[in-house]
Amino acid sequence: MNTYLNINNLVKKFGSFTALSDISLQINQGEFICFLGPSGCGKTTLLRAIAGLDLATSGCILQDGKDTTFLPPEKRDFGIVFQSYALFPNLTVAENISVGLHNQGKSVAEAVDIVNHWLGIIGLESSAPKYPNQLSGGQQQRVALARALALSPGLLLLDEPLSALDAQVRTHLREEIRSLQRKLGITTIMVTHDQEEALAMADRIVVMNHGVIEQVGTPQEIYDKPASRFVAEFVGNMNFIASSVISDDQIRIAETLLPKPKRELTRGDMFDLAVRPEDIEFSNDSQAIPVQIKSMEFQGTYVRTECQLVGNMNGSMIKVDVPIRDVRKLELANGEFRRISYSDDFSHTFPRKNNKKSTQAVGI
């Protein structure tokens, strides 16, 4: 695959504060990449460095083989869409889309053709003479997208483009953006703090925290094989169950002894066993872990139960998601004592956060 954007050892400082610390990342031609992370992790700063809106302190950025690290934005080849629609309020929809085209030296006739083409793609042909304040948020964001794409950039940058929209419009527009991006084959980077959005849209997700990259991977890799405790905590739901290694082949969770996972764990280690709620099941196996069901919440396609480990009644809850068709078979009820099990293939181990000697279960 061709690398389109090559970011090497990028550092960005604001005074003495390091917003980006030694970021290296390769993005392939045509990929849809999401920068995902909590507020303040540096994702917008990285996007702005790529756009030239904030210059990097050190490191380099190559776009299509050309060093763009210190080029001003107007010398770079990208289109950008911001969270706030950033349309010119005094220009019509058609004029908003054509602004950059005139700057690019297109004739009036060429610009009209291009504008009509994009109005057709975003389904707003009849809105050409309207002003931005006569459009809904979703429509304005479509116009902003058309304006960015009308210039045929090599790179599309999207800075939380959906976060100001209501849930239904957001889901609809994310499908539209993704299918348009696939059709055009344009390399795209989207900043988001919404993990669902990233999991649904991205070819690869770059998970960031405190100015560093924690993990780069496909949505499935990020979800199934979180590379760090931070990723495991940030993406999806995860139980962290306090465990300890008591012998060469056994671990202990509360009062239950279980086979030791086939991982680098040695006798005496205290660790958290991380398991997603959907990867735990209620089991009739007498070796499984005894719990008491403390709450049940109907969630449509599944029921989320919160369970407490028997023998550790002060510990935090373990969440178990039961598919609705199993709920009927299992006849679960609040307050009941049951057993739960998990598979080693769908569990992870992380060093105990506050490495105290304890058998308390830590749920999220």
Ligand X SMILES: Nc1ncnc2c1ncn2[C@@H]1O[C@H](COP(=O)(O)OP(=O)(O)OP(=O)(O)O)[C@@H](O)[C@H]1O
Residues that bind ligand X (CB under 6 A): 14, 17, 19, 37, 39-45, 193
- Rounded to whole angstroms, how far apart are CA atoms 221 and 128? 43
Closer residue to ligand X in complex, CB, 37/277: 37
Closer residue to ligand X in complex, CB, 39/301: 39
Closer residue to ligand X in complex, CB, 17/300: 17
Count CA atoms closer than 13 A to 356's CA, side-chain side: 6
Closer residue to ligand X in complex, CB, 41/293: 41
Rounded to the nearest whole angstrom, what is the least distance from the CB of residue 357 to ligand X in the complex?
36
Rounded to the nearest whole angstrom, what is the least distance from the CB of residue 210 to ligand X in the complex?
9
- Rounded to whole angstroms, how far apart are CA atoms 42 and 68? 20
Rounded to the nearest whole angstrom, what is the least distance from the CB of residue 72 to ligand X in the complex?
17
Rounded to the nearest whole angstrom, what is the least distance from the CB of residue 20 to ligand X in the complex?
8
Rounded to the nearest whole angstrom, what is the least distance from the CB of residue 339 to ligand X in the complex?
42
Closer residue to ligand X in complex, CB, 164/327: 164
Which single residue brings its beta carbon nearest to ligand X? 44
Closer residue to ligand X in complex, CB, 48/76: 48
Helix then strand then coil, in percent of the chain rounded to 5, is 30, 35, 35
Rounded to the nearest whole angstrom, what is the least distance from the CB of residue 44 to ligand X in the complex?
3
Amino acid code (one letter) for 185:
G
Element spanning 324, H or E: helix 324-330
Measured torsion, CA atoms of residues 282, 285, 291, 294, in degrees rounded to the nearest 10? 30
- Rounded to whole angstroms, how far apart are CA atoms 225 and 348? 8
- Rounded to whole angstroms, how far apart are CA atoms 45 and 275? 33
CA-closest candidate to residue 339, choices 270, 304, 290, 305 = 290
Q: Which residues of 246-267 are buried (b: 16+ CB within 10 A; e: fewer)?
A: eeeeebebbebebebbeeebee
CA distances from 124 to 15, 118, 120, 203, 320 (A): 45, 9, 6, 28, 46
Closer residue to ligand X in complex, CB, 5/208: 208
Rounded to the nearest whole angstrom, what is the least distance from the CB of residue 12 to ligand X in the complex?
8
